[in-house]
A and B are shown apart, each in its own frame.
Chain A
């Protein structure tokens, strides 16, 4: 799977410029304060390190892991001012030889795993990296929110970077039989009106119910504690938190 390759990585931050990382991190910190203490934390699938940047600036000791070298490089650059570490590795196989007070996995990465087997392996990976009593936090697509408004959604966005332009068309379809949303992205990069790159991506993301998540977490030795909507549009994503038992 070559999701989040170089073209996507280059425009990733612009594409997600409206995402409110600061508000999401405030939600994470609210949970840390209530259920912690949390001083050290790991971000599995850290992307370009936007969450970690805000967390590092707030004084947390952070480590990020991403398997995309393009993403890891951007995260490393972003976190260079902080005592942080970014590891280029696959989250299923990564072994850091230590545990953290909390592990986070954002951007619906759990939902990208789709099957029960892969979701459970992912939760195992999260649980393996936190101390006993430590916290696991991640966001998922909420079945109730997705299915309440399941119509096809589509749109186009344009982004500029110097003389380069990027056109992104996206459409979302709900597939209830597979319990997933299918997000299709078509991207064209142009320089002076000439197409210099074109990439199509299809993102298949599972949505979940609360009792379903609680059971999946339990199989990984994690206790479901709670969830709350993320400040996102459309309001499909929920932050979920659990404790290693």
Chain B
């Protein structure tokens, strides 16, 4: 599955330029500090390592993991240690004080079994009592509001990327399906277009509690993701944190 390919990967950072990584990292750091001494952080599904770049600057010892070669290449320009691997069968033979899985990494997994496998991977890379922080699409929000579409135009010099999204809610599969269409305009000409579909699982609070418990974690809290970026995938996301038991 290469959901972040081609045009998307090349523009990923540009259209997430507005995304408030700083607010999210502030929120993460507040959780780390509340959980006691935290020096080392593993990011499972690190993407282009925007969170880790800021955490490195704050003095944390960080490792990023992503299975997309394109993302890993971009991440290596930002931080020294990035491992190209599938997080499901990752074995780094070391543990960290905290593991983060941001931007709905968990929700992209397509079955409860692979979700538990991913959490088992986080578990074996955390010290006892270590902190797991992840964000998920909140089922209460999705099911209350229903699908939502949107449109953005991002300009960078002579180039403008148009991005249109559509939404569908699959209640039986617990999937919010977001269709994305992209058009690249360069110097007044349409030069590229692309489309992709993101299928994100949404969760209810007690359901998440159950999943975490079965994977050896104890749910400690949740809050809206800081920053307030527009779009259903962010507005309806919650940050969730849990302790390794």
Interface positions of A (Cβ within 8 A of B): 115-116, 142-144, 147-148, 150, 176-179, 206-212, 214-216, 219
8 A Cβ contacts from B198-235 to A:
201, 203-207, 209-211, 213-214
- Chain A residues whose C-beta falls within 8 Å of the C-beta of B213 in the assembled complex: 116
Cβ-defined contact, B210 with A176, below 8 A = no
Cβ-defined contact, B204 with A179, below 8 A = yes
B81 within 8 A of A: no
> Whole-angstrom distance from the CB of A66 to the nearest CB of chain B?
26
Closest 5 pairs (CB-CB, A-B): A147-B143, A144-B171, A176-B140, A212-B207, A116-B210
Residue of chain A at shortest CB distance from B172:
A210
Q: What separation, in Å, do the CA atoms of A206 and B214 have in the docked complex?
A: 20
Interface size on B, residues (CB 8 A): 22
- Chain A residues whose C-beta falls within 8 Å of the C-beta of B206 in the assembled complex: 115-116, 179, 206, 212
Cβ-defined contact, A209 with B139, below 8 A = yes
Q: What separation, in Å, do the CA atoms of A142 and B174 have in the docked complex?
A: 12
Q: What separation, in Å, do the CA atoms of A215 and B213 have in the docked complex?
A: 12
Q: What separation, in Å, do the CA atoms of A211 and B174 have in the docked complex?
A: 7
Cβ-defined contact, A209 with B144, below 8 A = no
Residue of chain B at shortest CB distance from A176:
B140
Contact check: which of A176, A177, A208, A211 meets B112 at CB < 8 Å?
A: A211
Interface positions of B (Cβ within 8 A of A): 112, 139-140, 143-144, 146, 169, 171-174, 201, 203-207, 209-211, 213-214
Cβ-defined contact, A147 with B144, below 8 A = yes
> Whole-angstrom distance from the CB of A16 to the nearest CB of chain B?
27
A150-B207 contact, Cβ under 8 Å, with A143-B139, A144-B171, A210-B172:
no
Residue of chain A at shortest CB distance from B209:
A116
Cβ-defined contact, A150 with B214, below 8 A = no
Cβ-defined contact, A215 with B210, below 8 A = yes
Contact check: which of A150, A209, A219 meets B204 at CB < 8 Å?
A: A209
- Chain A residues whose C-beta falls within 8 Å of the C-beta of B140 in the assembled complex: 143, 147, 176-177, 179
> Whole-angstrom distance from the CB of A97 to the nearest CB of chain B?
31
Cβ-defined contact, A209 with B146, below 8 A = no
Residue of chain B at shortest CB distance from A215:
B112
Q: A143-B139, A209-B139, A215-B211 are in contact. List 15 more A-B contacts (CB 8 A).
A: A143-B143, A147-B143, A147-B144, A148-B144, A148-B146, A176-B144, A177-B205, A179-B206, A206-B206, A209-B174, A209-B203, A211-B112, A211-B173, A211-B174, A215-B210
Cβ-defined contact, B171 with A212, below 8 A = no
Total CB contacts across the A-B interface at under 8 A: 66
- Chain B residues whose C-beta falls within 8 Å of the C-beta of A178 in the assembled complex: 205
- Chain B residues whose C-beta falls within 8 Å of the C-beta of A142 in the assembled complex: 171
Cβ-defined contact, A143 with B204, below 8 A = yes
Cβ-defined contact, B143 with A148, below 8 A = yes
A214-B112 contact, Cβ under 8 Å, with A144-B171, A147-B140, A179-B204:
yes
30 contacts between A and B (CB under 8 A): A115-B206, A116-B206, A116-B209, A116-B213, A143-B140, A143-B171, A148-B143, A148-B146, A150-B144, A176-B144, A176-B205, A177-B140, A179-B206, A179-B207, A209-B139, A209-B174, A209-B204, A209-B207, A210-B173, A211-B112, A211-B174, A211-B201, A211-B207, A212-B204, A212-B206, A212-B207, A215-B112, A215-B207, A215-B214, A219-B214
Q: What separation, in Å, do the CA atoms of A147 and B171 have in the docked complex?
A: 11
> Whole-angstrom distance from the CB of A124 to the nearest CB of chain B?
15
> Whole-angstrom distance from the CB of A216 to the nearest CB of chain B?
7
- Chain A residues whose C-beta falls within 8 Å of the C-beta of B172 in the assembled complex: 210
> Whole-angstrom distance from the CB of B240 to the nearest CB of chain A?
13
- Chain A residues whose C-beta falls within 8 Å of the C-beta of B201 in the assembled complex: 211
Residue of chain B at shortest CB distance from A227:
B172
- Chain A residues whose C-beta falls within 8 Å of the C-beta of B112 in the assembled complex: 211, 214-215
- Chain B residues whose C-beta falls within 8 Å of the C-beta of A219 in the assembled complex: 214
- Chain B residues whose C-beta falls within 8 Å of the C-beta of A208 in the assembled complex: 204, 207
- Chain A residues whose C-beta falls within 8 Å of the C-beta of B169 in the assembled complex: 144
- Chain A residues whose C-beta falls within 8 Å of the C-beta of B205 in the assembled complex: 176-179
> Whole-angstrom distance from the CB of B237 to the nearest CB of chain A?
15
> Whole-angstrom distance from the CB of A115 to the nearest CB of chain B?
8
Q: What separation, in Å, do the CA atoms of A216 and B211 have in the docked complex?
A: 9
Q: What separation, in Å, do the CA atoms of A210 and B112 have in the docked complex?
A: 11
Q: What separation, in Å, do the CA atoms of A209 and B175 have in the docked complex?
A: 11
